[in-house]
């Protein structure tokens, strides 16, 4: 299989943000931080910067994040940190669940830039630390349901993706946003062949703008461990976990449904929507129940909820759609 040629170090010059647009992003951030009401946020941003840039804490990969309590938080028993960070899907670092924790230390998360391209008024190339300081980081405890029928409850740290999208001002014709993960063969020695790398995922614009969709920089109050998608990933809590791309380097706005890695691999198994739905089984297993990985020694089997329990926030986006066809 031919692999897509792309990496964070391989950016066409036509897509580099003009300096003035970058400056503008910084200016807007300053005006956000400059308001009297935002003084508290400025203090938060300052301390966040210190802990992230401190070479010692960086070396321990456990720099703390200053967070504020977020909305949409579940009070269900949380999955312990060591389970959420040692049982992962991050195929770039190996296909077994314990491999990302062992192998992802090779991923270098600084310097790191994220490009915003395609149908937007303000295309950008943003440094991760600028993005991190753009809005206060909220702590949101979400249910996290994998298509393989296991689930966790994880406190993620980030802010709504809509904040960044609003800044970039999508053009009226933009209907979808594609998320591209990093591809760096030197830093990913376990990269399996047979996949159309880089990992890509996508959302419809209203899904991307839904306040639940989280641009995620941390979990458990710390910067994301590499195996969980450092330095920035997307979390879409009403969809199966594979919609939540890790280690994102590009957001591309488009008028067509973007290709996504798993949909390309097996379209009959992994649809573009992939909303958690106990009534639509995976062709090879039931989705009616899930194994909840939390503090119990043996994971409990519990019923799966429609939209992973977030119907109140998201069901209206799919009104009138046949969710059996649009799985
Ligand atoms: N993102 C990238 N770049 N590569 C991957 O292999 N796996 C996906 C998703 N994002 C994946 C990815 C899948 S299948 C799941 S279930 C979640 O990440 C797992 O996230 P977690 O390891 O933090 O639980």
pLDDT tens-digit series, residues 213-236: 999 999 999 999 999 999 999 999
- Beta pairing, strands 248-254 & 214-219: unpaired
Among the residue ranges 27-36, 103-112, 295-304, the one predicted with the least confidence is 27-36
Nearest alpha-carbon partner for 79 in 170, 24, 152: 152
- Residue 170: both structure tokens together: 């999508």
* Range 110-117 average pLDDT: 98
Q: What is the DSSP letter of 297?
A: S
For the CA of 84, the closest atom of ligand 1 is 24
Residue 109 beta carbon below 6 angstroms from any ligand 1 atom: no
Q: What is the DSSP letter of 120?
A: B
> Which residue among 79, 89, 251, 276 has the greatest number of ligand 1 atoms within 8 angstroms of its CB, and so is best to mutate?
89
For the CA of 182, the closest atom of ligand 1 is 3
**Distance from C-alpha of 48 to C-alpha of 7, rounded to nearest angstrom:** 28
- Neighbouring C-alpha atoms within 13 Å toward the C-beta of 99: 14
- Residue 111: both structure tokens together: 């310097």
pLDDT top residue among 139 and 46: 139
Among the residue ranges 19-33, 259-273, 289-303, the one predicted with the least confidence is 19-33
pLDDT for 158-175, tens place per residue?
999 999 999 999 999 999
For the CA of 199, the closest atom of ligand 1 is 3
**Distance from C-alpha of 229 to C-alpha of 232, rounded to nearest angstrom:** 6
pLDDT for 30-86, tens place per residue?
433 222 222 223 333 444 433 444 444 444 446 899 999 998 999 999 999 999 999
CA 88 to centroid of ligand 1, rounded, Å = 7
For the CA of 91, the closest atom of ligand 1 is 6
The average confidence (pLDDT) of the chain is 86
CA 243 to centroid of ligand 1, rounded, Å = 8
Q: What's the confidence (pLDDT) of residue 190?
A: 93
> Which residue among 143, 217, 244, 264 has the greatest number of ligand 1 atoms within 8 angstroms of its CB, and so is best to mutate?
244
Which residue puts its alpha carbon closest to atom 17 of ligand 1? 241
Residue 88 beta carbon below 6 angstroms from any ligand 1 atom: yes
Residue 312 has pLDDT above 80, yes or no: yes
pTM, two decimals, is 0.85
Residues 51, 52, 57, 62, CA torsion sign = positive
Cα distances (Å, whole numbers) of residue 191 to 12, 90, 195, 204: 24, 10, 9, 28
For the CA of 147, the closest atom of ligand 1 is 16
Q: What's the confidence (pLDDT) of residue 71?
A: 87
pLDDT for 6-30, tens place per residue?
333 333 333 334 444 444 444 344 4
Residues 6+ apart with CB under 8 A from 322: none
Per the document, the length of the chain is 327
Domains parsed from the chain with CATH numbers = 13-318 (3.90.420.10)
Which residue puts its alpha carbon closest to atom 2 of ligand 1? 246
Question: What share of the chain has pLDDT > 90, as a percent?
Answer: 80
For the CA of 240, the closest atom of ligand 1 is 16
**Distance from C-alpha of 239 to C-alpha of 323, rounded to nearest angstrom:** 13
**Distance from C-alpha of 101 to C-alpha of 83, rounded to nearest angstrom:** 11
């Amino acid at each position: 299989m031919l692999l897509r040629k792309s990496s964070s170090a391989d950016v066409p010059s036509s897509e580099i943000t003009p300096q003035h647009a970058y400056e503008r992003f910084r200016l807007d951030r300053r005006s956000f931080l400059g308001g009297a009401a935002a003084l508290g946020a400025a203090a938060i941003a300052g301390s966040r910067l210190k802990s992230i840039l401190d070479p010692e804490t960086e070396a321990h990969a456990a720099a703390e994040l200053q967070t504020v309590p977020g909305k949409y938080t579940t009070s269900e028993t949380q999955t312990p940190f060591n389970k959420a960070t040692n049982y992962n899907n991050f195929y770039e670092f190996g296909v077994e669940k314990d491999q990302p924790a062992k192998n992802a230390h090779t991923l270098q998360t600084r310097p790191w830039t994220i490009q915003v391209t395609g149908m937007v008024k303000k295309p950008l190339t943003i440094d991760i630390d600028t993005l991190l300081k753009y809005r206060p980081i909220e702590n949101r405890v979400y249910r996290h349901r994998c298509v393989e029928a296991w689930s966790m409850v994880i406190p993620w740290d980030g802010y709504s993706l809509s904040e960044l999208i609003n800044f970039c001002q999508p053009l009226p014709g933009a209907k979808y946003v594609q998320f591209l993960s990093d591809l760096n063969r030197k830093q990913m020695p376990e990269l399996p062949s047979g996949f159309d790398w880089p990992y890509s995922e996508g959302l419809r614009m209203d899904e991307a703008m839904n306040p639940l969709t989280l641009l995620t920089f941390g979990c458990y109050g710390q910067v994301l461990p590499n195996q969980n998608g450092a330095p920035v990933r997307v979390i879409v809590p009403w969809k199966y976990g594979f919609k939540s791309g890790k280690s994102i380097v590009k957001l591309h706005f488009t008028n067509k449904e973007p290709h996504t890695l798993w949909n390309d691999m097996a379209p009959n198994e992994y649809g573009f929507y992939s909303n958690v739905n106990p009534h639509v089984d995976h062709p090879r297993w039931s989705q009616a129940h899930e194994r909840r990985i939390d503090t119990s020694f043996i994971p409990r089997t519990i019923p799966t909820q429609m939209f992973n329990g977030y119907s109140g926030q998201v069901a209206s986006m799919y009104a009138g759609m046949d969710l059996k066809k649009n799985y």
